[in-house]
Amino acid sequence: MQTATNKSPQPKRPYAKRVDEVSAGGLVIDASGTKGLLIGRYDTKDSTGKRVLWSLPKGHIEEGETPEQAAIREVAEETGITSSITKSLGVIDFWFMAGGKRIHKTVHHFMFTEVGGVLAAQESEVDEVSWFPLEEIVDRLAYPDEKKLIARSAELTP
């Protein structure tokens, strides 16, 4: 007995390659304890080219670095400000597509205290860098996960 179906074999779907990335960074509080440091990148989807997306400074962890070492280095590279870690704020992880790849990104966030340096945006990656009153930080942040992370931090209460 033979059975026939009208189902044809489904072609295999190509899956996007998965890439894991791990970064570190966070929020620097100025020496007076009243302002927080954010980096800005111009919104590429904004036709005026003037809308700034504010976020926490962060970057990739290099081989042999701890998340803490990478966070301190990245904050200094992107902002010109040297700092010391006061506490961990937690970890955010998310997925996005880039260059035909599925990126799984994990970001370790810390709270820092400003130690020194001169405010300067890293030319290749950051368009602006600025201090904002702590009570404005959550509203200024462009990304919901960063907003939630900072809003949970008791350090930001004036």
pTM (predicted TM-score): 0.83
What letters, b where the CB count within 10 A reaches 16 and e where it falls short, cover 97-118?
eeeeeebebebbbbbbebeeee
Q: Average the pLDDT over 68-86 and give the result.
A: 97
- pLDDT, one tens digit per residue, over 121-152 is 887 889 999 999 999 999 999 999 999 999 98
Statement: residue 13 has pLDDT above 70: no
* Fold (topology level) of 17-156: Nucleoside Triphosphate Pyrophosphohydrolase (3.90.79)
Q: So where are the chain's domains?
A: 17-156
